[in-house]
Amino acid sequence: MAAADQAKRIYHFGGGTADGDETMKALLGGKGANLGAMARMGLPVPPGFTLATPLCLAYGVSKALPHGLMDDVRKAIGKVEALTGKTFGKGPDPLLVSVRSGAAVSMPGMMDTVLNLGMNPEVSAALGALAGERFAKDSERRFIQMFGNVVDGIEGKNFEAALDAVKHDKGVIEDTALDAAALDDVIARYREVYQAETGRSFPDDPWEQLQRSIEAVFASWGNIRAVTYRRINQIPDDLGTAVNVQAMVYGNLGDDCGTGVGFTRNPSNGAKGFYGEFLPNAQGEDVVAGIRTPIPVKAAQAAAVDLAGLSLEERHPQIHGELMAVATKLEDFYGDVQDLEFTFERDTLYLLQTRTAKRTGHAWLMTQTDLVAEGKITPNQAIARIPATSLAQVLAPSLDTSAASSKPLAQGLNAGPGAATGRIAFTADDAEARAALDIPIILVREDTTPEDIHGMHAAQGILTARGGLTSHAAVVARGMGKPCIVGCSALRIDEANETLTIEDSDLVLGPGDTITIDGTTGAVLLGEQAITTSEVLQVLVDRTLPESESPLAAAFNKVMKWSDDARKLEVRTNADTPNDALVARALGAEGIGLCRSEHMFFETDRILAMRRVILSSKKRHREAALAGIEPFQKEDFKGLFRVMRGKPVTIRTLDPPLHEFLPHSEEDIKALARQGRWSVEQVRSRIAALRESNPMLGHRGCRLGILYPEITRMQARAIASAALEVAAEGVDVQAEIMIPLVGHVRELALQRAEVEAELDELFEKAGRRVNIRIGTMIEIPRAALTAGEIATEAQFFSFGTNDLTQMTLGVSRDDAGTFLPDYVGMGIYTMDPFVSLDQSGVGRLMRIAVREGRKERPALKVGICGEHGGDPSSVGFCHTLGLNYVSCSPYRVPIARLAAAQAALAD
């Protein structure tokens, strides 16, 4: 391992050696660290150097490069000159360099890059004498455009207009048809654009170009695109980017050169074998930009898309052979699927980048289980890497091909699996605006750029007319887990008029029309289509497909088994009905951590009885009405105990404010009055009396059971008699009664006394007992702060982090949408605290509660049942707190199992 010296600012790579290596991502960024590793492995990496990330953070503060840095850069360029035999800024063989960003966490396309730097008329002439005049001029105009855009912020359209004007004058359509003289004209116009936009002439001094480009890349860490990307992907702001300065190699020297990107295995479905694309006669950025549709590397893939004979394998067998050898070497070295960038200059192959490939959930499961089977990694290494949330994609619905009612409108490349239906949006802004109104959206674009990121985030799915599987749209959608189709060339998109037409069809679609995309197959369909359950759910939950017919389900089960072997946290589910419980059990839940018993009250026949309870002023009447609900509750609980046999079932007593059960419509009020023989006025005045300004802080939770103990008693009776009856069937029943919203130990003591009195009475009568534990939710800050006292009355704690977050932050969980997204956007909270635990605030209260609770009662079981129980980073936090279990919604159970294993492995 190379030594990381914090004072060192510049790290070399190339010529078979490097200062850095793959372990130094924090300092050198992913790209710089891996370039170092590749150079050390002896792979053909153009030489260069990396400016370390602390320089970026310092630049963010001072807005200037540190003193003396450019002197060091000059020395570093000297080394590159020595290794390449070229000279920076002059002929006869001039050195051009690329200046690229590269953070520790890859952020594709979010920051800036400048290519062909070191160019001026004199250099261009020298390059022309060596490599052809047309090539030199093309490189020169690309450089002015990129530098102008990245460093001086000149909008690309200014340069494009100049280029179009020359093409028009010369009567040509393609850029490649412009000869050297025409390119001279383009260069002259570009220089005018630069002058007009900046008020300065274009800088021809290569050192000035280099310094300003380095500064621009450091500054791009703070651009809006990059900041948005970090928010969405939960990447901290204080990592900074490194800058990589590297000798240029040229994929655009002619048709026998090219540049491409590839994956050592298919990033969409995980299939074994190299998967890549290249563009002949092009520079690196052309491929990722998705402007020209690239050609497959492998012959078989080319044949499948009618490009037989054109693949890299067929046209350049020697380069192809070397590339395959490099791919294998890199995958073996890293022990994981690599995403690499390469360029070939005639017979010479160069590697420009390697990184761990972003993949779909499907591909994560397949590649990791394959790598284990191939003996390249251990099961624990495999599960440590799979992003836990990627499992959500595997469980997501897909298009029901048997029921698809129309034949596809068009076919594109299947870039991100899963099916999505929505209205068409032609711009990211429109997608975002309408999605905010809960309208499902499919974002339809010619191709996407980093400026579209907010629209992609808001959309259900993404469809583009251009681009390959490595285009921006494909890479970003895959990272977001969204269904995505790219390269759907039959689409004709008129963004200005908001119309979408399809080649060979009269159909004209607009923003009001609904389409469905199947990102698994690449099919685009008209209208809303039937969408079917995921293959994994068909095997595990529906049991309509045997595991032997689904390699995906087999891989899923393996990963779950490895996770279960590694984790310490138990994973339970939040389930209110036997059906939810069945799904959760099939997905591995080890019990119910929260049954919100009030959800059983809302069905028509039950709600009437509940309304009578609330309206009755006499206890006798309330008890009579409750007796009407009790049999229903008992049946529901019996269902849960049967499904969860042998596993704990935690049932929470009534929680929501009473008035939530009351009628609102005139009709319902009248019906209730008739039924209970009240006057309409009596009903109305009771409703008015129960109204609260802050119901979330009002008469809810245990406060109901304390003022109306007969409600708690009825529920305790229903739970205990259900437990007795199911136990009599031979089922092992593990019932737990949980009291909500306790803030003071006396509240819990009162409720516990009611429950115990009821249980004793019932068990006495039955002549049998079952063991029922009594515990409480910790969801009021006071409860957390006095957990030692509360533990004297509680056999278990379960953190209700929804309420605990609300009350700790003083942010209403129901109205958080009003300002919280802005707060997250401004970085006040880095994550929505209702999604991912506020570890330093709410988490601190939890820590106190665990410590003091267990001090009083060492065997105290502690879990969590707020929404955070299914959020991977919150699960990790719960592991470090030493909780016994997390409980989450059924479909998040696999995510929690994997996240719990990852937390245990990280210890």
What are the catalytic residues? 472, 865
Query: Stretches 70-78, 224-232, 318-326, 797-805: which one binds ligand PEP (CB under 6 A)?
Result: 797-805
Least distance from Mg ion to the Cβ atom of residue 781, Å: 13
Which is nearer to ligand PEP, 461 or 648 (by Cβ)?
648
Q: Which does 701 bind (CB under 5 to 8 A by kind): Mg ion, ligand PEP, none?
A: none
865 binding partner (options Mg ion, ligand PEP, none; Cβ < 5 to 8 Å by kind): ligand PEP
8 A C-beta contact, residue 72 and residue 57: no
Residue span 637-656 as binding mask against ligand PEP, x where in contact by CB under 6 A, dash where not: ------------------x-
Q: Provide the strand spans (E) within 104-257.
A: 113-117, 241-247
Q: Based on the shown chain and the rule CB under 5 A, indicate whether residue 518 belongs to the binding site for Mg ion.
A: no
Count of CA atoms in the C-beta half-sphere (13 A) of 700? 21
Q: What are the angstrom distances between the C-alpha of 524 and each of 514, 519, 521, 530?
A: 11, 9, 9, 13
Q: Residue 652 CB, nearest distance to Mg ion (Å)?
A: 9
List the structure tokens of 338.
């690599």
How far is it, in rounded angstroms, from Cα 256 to Cα 345?
A: 7
Query: Whose Cβ is closer to Mg ion: residue 428's or residue 702's?
Result: 702
The residue among 206 and 800 lying less far from ligand PEP, judged by its C-beta, is 800
Binding ligand PEP (rule: CB under 6 A), the pick from 10, 594, 791, 875 is 594
User: Using CB under 6 A, which of 170, 385, 596, 599 touches ligand PEP?
Assistant: 596
Q: Per CB under 5 A, which of residues 836..865 are in contact with Mg ion?
A: none
* Short-list 292, 296, 293, 291, CA closest to 266: 296
SS3 at position 448: coil
Taking the least distance from each CB to ligand PEP, the nearer of 652 and 717 is 652
- Binding of ligand PEP by 865 (CB under 6 A): yes
The residue count for the chain: 907
How far apart are the C-alpha atoms of 875 and 837, rounded to whole Å?
9
Q: Choose the binding region for ligand PEP from 10-18, 224-232, 512-520, 800-808 (rule: CB under 6 A).
A: 800-808
- Binding-residue pattern over the window 761 to 800 for Mg ion, x denoting contact by CB under 5 A: ------------------x--------------------x
**Judged by CB under 5 A, does residue 803 bind Mg ion?**
yes
Q: Determine the interface stretch with ligand PEP among 87-95, 256-264, 406-414, 794-802 (rule: CB under 6 A).
A: 794-802
Contacts for 38-45: CB closer than 8 Å, 24+ residues apart: 38/13, 38/330, 38/351, 38/354, 39/13, 39/14, 39/15, 40/16, 41/329, 41/333, 42/16, 43/326, 43/329, 43/330, 43/351, 44/348, 44/349, 44/350, 44/351, 45/13, 45/14, 45/350, 45/351, 45/352
Residue type, 70: M
CB nearer to ligand PEP: pick between 551 and 656: 656
CB nearer to Mg ion: pick between 481 and 800: 800
Residues binding Mg ion: what is the number (CB under 5 A)?
3
Residue choice 532, 802, 830, 873 for contact with ligand PEP (CB under 6 A): 802
Q: Which amino acid is at 280?
A: P
Cα 439 to Cα 460: distance, rounded to the nearest angstrom = 10
Residue 419 partner contact from Mg ion, ligand PEP, none using kind-dependent CB cut-offs of 5 to 8 Å: none
Q: Residue 591: how many CA atoms within 13 Å on its side-chain side?
A: 23
Q: Does 801 bind ligand PEP (CB under 6 A)?
A: yes
- Which residue in 779, 838, 852, 871 binds ligand PEP (CB under 6 A)? 779
Indicate the helix (H) or strand (E) that contains 423: strand 419-425
Q: Tell me how crowded residue 618 is: count the other CB atoms within 10 A of its CB.
A: 8
Q: How many residues bind ligand PEP (CB under 6 A)?
A: 10
803 binds ligand PEP (CB under 6 A): yes
Return the one option of Mg ion, ligand PEP, none that residue 20 interacts with (CB less than 5 to 8 A, by type): none
The least CB distance from residue 661 to ligand PEP, in Å, is 15
> Could you tell me the two tokens for 630?
């009790």
Minimum separation from the CB atom of position 685 to ligand PEP (A): 29
Beta bridge partners of 766: none
Cis amide linkage into residue 92, ω under 30° from 0:
yes
Partner from Mg ion, ligand PEP, none binding residue 590, C-beta < 5-8 Å depending on class: none
The rounded distance, in Å, linking the Cα atoms of 195 and 211 is 20
Q: What are the phi and psi torsion angles at 463 (to 5°)?
A: -135, 125
For ligand PEP, give the closer residue by CB, 172 or 785: 785
Q: Which residue ranges make up the site for ligand PEP (CB under 6 A)?
A: 594, 596, 655, 779, 800-803, 865-866
Q: Which residue ranges make up the site for Mg ion (CB under 5 A)?
A: 779, 800, 803
